[in-house]
Chain A
């Protein structure tokens, strides 16, 4: 191989190596920072470590909302299974019993500690994966 080609080959290899390592770093960080989304029923079938941040979506069960000081607790249900949620702060304007909600947080001892509670702007919004018969 002539020296110019050899030099070119090296630089191409170097660029390739850098791109591959860069992309794998990005993918690695992506993979360790994903928030998985579960419905209460799906949650029954998986084992989630308590330090893993996840999202839970479903309906706020009727008559389940309780408040104590600035803390609010309620039950997210898909009408098959459900989970208790605790949250400190102000729930969004569209949050109400019997309507859709998505919570982001951690599970500890069967209780979901939410850091963020989202209710959708659209009144007809349904959390993904939920197609319920009793939805109006």
Chain B
């Protein structure tokens, strides 16, 4: 019964959002219409909010007459997972996605004054996008369907790999990032629709874009961490199509933030910034399409339903076509002011944008090419890590080199630009020495890794020098740029060391036996059956000693969950600052021994730390009041 109220409220909000959208795009700006649009949007949002809150409440109170809740939740779950079960499958996560979309719009709505010229049209565009997604939800993936008259006594349980704190937070964070880019997208469209070149949409969206970027960064990092310890993938990145479709909006968003900073400073690169704002949002939608349509097999593709895929594809096509035609129609309006001078900050950011564009194009190709190839030649292919490495390594190295030389560059000026200044020479010397040391100590001739470490060090040392200079001489240094770029250097070095040093090996050990691997002595103490609340498990106990005399216990498990009969691997990880020792257990052999996989992962925590540091830089920018960035 209550579910019908929730259903009805969401339909009602669809109608209201449609009214707001069509009204704001068909009327001209007056204080009266502007007020009306703002208020109606808030009401529409309140309806959607109520609908969503009722839905959460139904999930908490185990209302299994709702088909979706019955299929994905269980009365034995703690409240936390009852709530997160809502986004454990397709319908509910779409609902959450739409709710967040409307939430960003709502926060924008209450934070921006009604007198802002671009506001009504921005709200209008957001409303229409919400309507498109709400129709998608109600028509193709309705979470409000009930099982009546006889509701099941208990739910089918949440997928066990999703019963994990990181996973309860990962989708919402990622979604907040994805849909957050609706603000710059809608604002740039509002700018084009209004047709007044003096309107400053770039200033308006700066902090909103950085906020969305922070969520996207954290969301991707959480996903990477979760796949590492919960799925037992044992690494940080796999070039899985689903990871790739999250990486593309991130790359586009990062390029967009750079380009945006130029447009704010000097009204240059304006066309490029608008195009990027369209690209970021389109790529977010494309991600939703790839993940939801089941067109690519992956952990995340919940159900294969061609109707959903087709609807989403059509919807994305309409959005892209509409925004691009608008862009072309108003192209003459956004003529850039003045040429970009060589060696000015603008020129470096333009180069950076070209690099980012290449990366996005390559990832896109890797995701889409197998689909096209299969369609054309009826032959299945896949694109793996070698391709992405071949593209990413040289481009990231080049881009970091440009970054290194660009630190001194000034806005709009090419004068005083010297290639060899003291900080540059100093960081070059240090980086060369350290890289050679690494080359000899670790006896590696891998050029790609050594070069990546080298440029990573260049960036790190350069920014350390800049920070010291700014502290000593009280010279202004943009904290956002410094922290984010420092984090990039750290990321490069961590990733390089990780791929240089990390090793893995499958061992087979009997109980009470020792096995040596690298500098580790692994002792298999015991294995026994253990009963959990909703699973049976085999739990192995190992004692591990390293050469330094450290000793610790690790207990990997294998679980079988009752309700779905699903088997999962629980990893056991010993974390230390420089390396993780990562154990998973496999099957038992006929002679009674067990297969155990040992991984030594170097600096893997530093990879996630660097990503978090980038996100932190974004938080610094949003929380300070300075208008400029980068």
Which residues of A approach B to under 8 Å, CB–CB? 22-23, 26-27, 29-30, 33-37, 53, 55, 57, 67, 69-70, 88-91, 93-94, 104, 120-121, 125, 128-129
Contact = CB atoms under 8 A, between A and B. Distances in A.
A33 B379 contact: no
B597 A89 contact: yes
B169 to A, nearest CB: 21
A95 B568 CA distance: 12
Contacts of A70: 505-508, 595
B581 to A, nearest CB: 16
A12 to B, nearest CB: 15
Given A70-B506, A88-B506, A30 B297 contact: no
A93 B558 contact: yes
A33 B568 CA distance: 32
Contacts of B584: 90
Nearest to B507: A70
Given A29-B390, A30-B365, A90-B584, A36 B590 contact: no
Given A34-B381, A67-B589, A90-B597, A26 B361 contact: yes
A55 B383 CA distance: 11
11 contacts: A22-B358, A26-B361, A30-B387, A34-B381, A34-B383, A35-B384, A37-B381, A55-B380, A67-B590, A70-B506, A90-B584
Contact of B384 (A22, A33, A93, A120): A33
B382 A30 contact: no
Contacts of B568: 93
Interface residues on B, range: 35 or more
A70 B593 CA distance: 10
A47 to B, nearest CB: 15
B567 A29 contact: no
Contacts of A36: 379-381
Contacts, number: 79
Contact of B380 (A29, A33, A37, A89): A37
A37 B365 contact: no
A72 to B, nearest CB: 8
B338 to A, nearest CB: 16
A55 B567 contact: no
Interface string B573-602: 000000000001111011000010100000
What are the 5 A-B residue pairs with the smallest beta carbon separation, nearest first?
A: A37-B380, A90-B586, A33-B387, A70-B506, A93-B567
Given A30-B365, A33-B386, A35-B381, A125 B558 contact: no
A120 B414 CA distance: 56
B237 to A, nearest CB: 15
Nearest to A104: B384
Contacts of B569: 93
A129 B336 CA distance: 52
Given A93-B568, A125-B297, A128-B380, A33 B507 contact: no
Nearest to A118: B297
A108 B30 CA distance: 75
Given A34-B373, A35-B384, 5 more contacts: A29-B391, A33-B387, A53-B384, A90-B597, A121-B299
Contacts of A120: 297
Contacts of B299: 121
A34 B220 CA distance: 26
Contacts of B29: none
Contacts of A23: 361
B533 to A, nearest CB: 20
B391 A26 contact: yes
Contacts of B567: 93-94
A128 B373 CA distance: 14
B506 A89 contact: yes
A72 B318 CA distance: 51
Contacts of B365: 26-27, 30
A92 B299 CA distance: 13
Contacts of B585: 90
Which of A23, A33, A125 gathers most chain B CB within 10 Å? A33
A53 B381 CA distance: 11
Given A26-B361, A70-B595, A90-B595, A33 B381 contact: no
B372 to A, nearest CB: 12
A66 to B, nearest CB: 9
A40 B330 CA distance: 56
Contacts of B271: none
Nearest to B382: A35
B562 interface: no
B369 interface: yes
Contacts of B508: 69-70
Interface in B384-427: 384, 386-387, 390-391
Contacts of A129: 380
B297 A35 contact: no
A110 to B, nearest CB: 22
Contacts of A128: 380
A11 B299 CA distance: 46
B163 to A, nearest CB: 15
A29 B382 contact: no
Nearest to A38: B380
B219 interface: no
Contacts of B507: 70
Contacts of B505: 70
B502 interface: no
Contacts of B358: 22, 26
Contacts of B383: 30, 33-35
B184 interface: no
B556 to A, nearest CB: 10
Contacts of B384: 33, 35, 53, 104
